[in-house]
Amino acid sequence: MSALTLLVLRLGVLLLLWLFVFAIVGVLRSDLYGTRVVARTAVADTGGRRRRRARPTARRATTEPSHLVVTSGSLAGTTLTLKPNGTLIGRNPECTLVLDDDFSSGRHARLFAEGSHWYVEDLGSTNGTFLGSQQVTGPTQVHIGSSIRVGRTVLELRK
């Protein structure tokens, strides 16, 4: 066999090996999964993206609240889009809004919609849920702007 063929093959094996390595590294670059930590200080950026996604709900009726905003507590500044099937609030990682608050329970409270009205309901929490200064005992209607207190966290519904 000619020396040239062998030379080509010899270098070809090396080239292919490195091609394989680079192909894998290329896949690695696009392979993101798991959890992503987003800086909450950049509210303008993430908020904008969220609002764009939430537009269909917002367009349906302008008087309906579409967002849940944390106004005080360790998560102050967080905004969530309200889902029609409800929002679960608590420390349990399964909750929609996972609180980092020692005074809240695992599954603390639930927000849900009936028609165009939103209600808050306490889920048997230890420290209770307050709407304004009133403790929530059964499902209670929440208006835009009124504050809901869960442990040390204060939440508000926004348009």
Partner 1 sequence: MTAVTSVAPKRGRNVELALLMLAIGIIVVAYINVELALHGSLPPDLLYLVGGVAGVALIFHLVLRWRASYADPLILPIAVLLNGMGLVMIHRLDIAAGRSITGGLAFKQLTWTVIGVVIALTVLITLRDHRVLRRYTYTAALGALILLLLPLVPGLGKSAYGSRIWISVGGFSFQPAEIAKILLAIFFAGYLVQTRDVLSLAGRKVLGITFPRMRDLGPILFAWLISIAILVFETDLGTSLLLFGLFVSMLYVATERVSWIAIGLTLTAAGAYVAYLLFGHVQRRVLCWLDPFSPEGVDQCGQITTGLMGMASGGLLGHGLGQGRPWLTPLPESDYIFPSFGEEIGLVGVFALLLLYVLLVERGMRTAIGLRDGFGKLLAAGLAFVIALQVFVVVGGVTRVIPLTGLTLPFLSYGGSSLLTNWTLIALLLRISDHARRPVPDVDPADISSDTPTEVVKVA
Smaller CB separation from partner 1, 5 or 134: 5
**Residues paired with 155 in a beta bridge:** 70, 148
Residue 131 CA to residue 142 CA, distance in Å, equals 8
Indicate the SS3 state at residue 84.
Answer: coil
Among 62, 73, 61, 66, CA closest to 50: 66
Smaller CB separation from partner 1, 59 or 138: 138
Half-sphere exposure at residue 36, Cβ-oriented, CA atoms within 13 angstroms: 5
Closest approach, Cβ 66 to partner 1, in A, equals: 17
Chain residues that interact with partner 1, rule: CB under 8 A: 1, 5-7, 9-14, 16-21, 23-25, 27-28, 30-41, 46, 75-78, 83, 85-88, 94-96, 98, 107, 110, 112, 121-124
Closest approach, Cβ 152 to partner 1, in A, equals: 15
Smaller CB separation from partner 1, 61 or 76: 76
Torsion angle, CA of 62/65/66/69, rounded to 10 degrees? 140
Closest approach, Cβ 151 to partner 1, in A, equals: 17
Closest approach, Cβ 9 to partner 1, in A, equals: 4
φ, ψ for residue 90, nearest 5 deg: 165, -175
Smaller CB separation from partner 1, 59 or 94: 94
